[in-house]
Structure 1
């Protein structure tokens, strides 16, 4: 059963914005995920994307991240569960990724 995606924006401890995603990110909700990320990136110099509550990330979700990593100060915080897929995709070469 698919876990619904929830995306919540708020202030971070460092003064920058944090966008927290929970649930699953796949092709059924990648556009919604991308739109939420776009709103934060449009108004901020740096955004931390907290993916620690994400239990599944497919290629559509990874494409959203790649599309927005270039030209933005995007920082990802991801669970160990996503470490392999993020490394294989090459995303850590284009943006900051911290695994928790």
Structure 2
């Protein structure tokens, strides 16, 4: 079991905001994740490299903002991001196996 969801805002190159997410993203965490994404102005990089679980509630938040987010993930999340179709709507980095 993973600890509680943590969000760490920061800055990325080219002026984008970076939101680093760690833990599990599920229905109980949407009340934390959604406002963090919704209140960020402009382009946003959502770093999911420390996320162990992402369910449909978390996906729905990412889908709502697919037009302005880029996602950084790991191969662990590749199936859910690909099968859901999110990889066709936004740029997703880090899904390839190394």
TM-score (norm 2): 0.89
Alignment: residue pair count:
95
- Aligned residue for 1:68? 65
SS of 1:22 mapped into structure 2: strand
Preserved contact between residue 2 and residue 52 of structure 2 (Cα < 8 Å) = no
Residue 13 (1) aligns with residue 20 (2): no
Aligned to 1:53: 50
- Aligned counterpart for 1:84 among listed residues 66, 79, 93: 79
TM-superposed deviation, 1:2? 4.2
Structure 1 portions without partners, runs of 5+: none
Structure 2 unaligned residues grouped into runs of 5+: none
CA drift at 1:52: 0.3
Runs of 4+ in 1 over 3 A off after TM superposition: none
More strand by share: 1
Q: Structure 1, residues 22-59: CA drift from partner, whole Å, max 9, x if none?
A: 0000000112111111111xx22x11110001010011
> How does the TM-score come out when normalised to structure 1?
0.88
